[in-house]
């Protein structure tokens, strides 16, 4: 959906148009759920957190002055909802530890980013996911993470460099293994 279409839907939603709310919900809900699901490490509470955000959006959308920042406003709301839940869950952790069966969360389906990002800190993983998985603009990511846009750009550059350094030895190893196999096949 184009930014202009989103802006018009947000304006209509602010004026009480339920069809606009439905369209915005359908457009964003799946990605927000995936975003929350990753942040809570697959915990089933992700859907509840996203639903809470939509309730808050219903109450607070009239406060949003610039419809162009709706996407980053929405993602930031999910991020803060998750952080609040994590604080509360840390306070309840001692209760859960007494019941080990509650600690077993369902396994997540394979994640395209999981393996290659495992060595990065949580902030860098979040940045990569927002940029590549959720395809958000650097300006929107800056608003969500509440950091300057230049910081987003420099962190993405640094992460790309580190990933390239990780991939380079594997690619060279695969090339040398392929060349050895070809030489072995030609002698037969």
Q: What is the pLDDT of residues 104-114, one digit of tens each?
A: 443 334 455 66
Domains of the chain, residue spans: 1-109, 111-188
1-109 carries CATH number 3.40.50.300? no
What is the architecture of the domain spanning 111-188? Orthogonal Bundle (1.10)
Q: What is the pLDDT of residues 113-155, one digit of tens each?
A: 667 787 888 888 888 888 988 888 999 999 998 999 999 999 9
Q: By C-alpha distance, which of 78, 61, 67, 53 is closest to 134?
A: 78
Using only C-alpha atoms, the chain has a radius of gyration, in whole angstroms, of 21
pTM over 0.85: no
According to DSSP, residue 132 is labeled I
Spatial separation of the C-alpha atoms in residues 34 and 29, rounded to whole Å: 9
């Amino acid at each position: 959906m184009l930014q202009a279409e989103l802006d018009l839907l947000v304006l209509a939603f602010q004026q009480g148009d339920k069809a606009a709310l439905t369209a915005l919900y359908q457009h964003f809900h799946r990605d927000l759920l995936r975003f929350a699901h990753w942040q809570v490490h697959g915990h089933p509470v992700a859907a509840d957190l996203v639903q809470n955000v939509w309730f808050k959006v219903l109450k607070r959308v009239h406060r949003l002055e610039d419809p162009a920042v709706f996407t980053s406003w929405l993602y930031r709301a999910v991020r803060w909802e998750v952080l609040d839940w994590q604080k509360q869950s840390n306070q309840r952790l001692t209760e859960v530890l007494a019941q080990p069966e509650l600690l077993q969360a369902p396994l997540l389906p394979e994640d395209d980013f999981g393996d290659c990002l495992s060595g990065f800190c949580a902030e860098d993983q979040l940045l990569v996911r927002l940029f590549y998985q959720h395809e958000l603009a650097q300006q929107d990511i800056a608003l969500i993470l509440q950091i300057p846009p230049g910081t987003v750009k420099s962190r993405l550059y640094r992460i790309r460099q580190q990933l390239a350094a990780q991939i380079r030895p594997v690619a060279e190893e695969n090339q040398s293994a392929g060349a050895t196999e070809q030489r072995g096949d030609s002698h037969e």
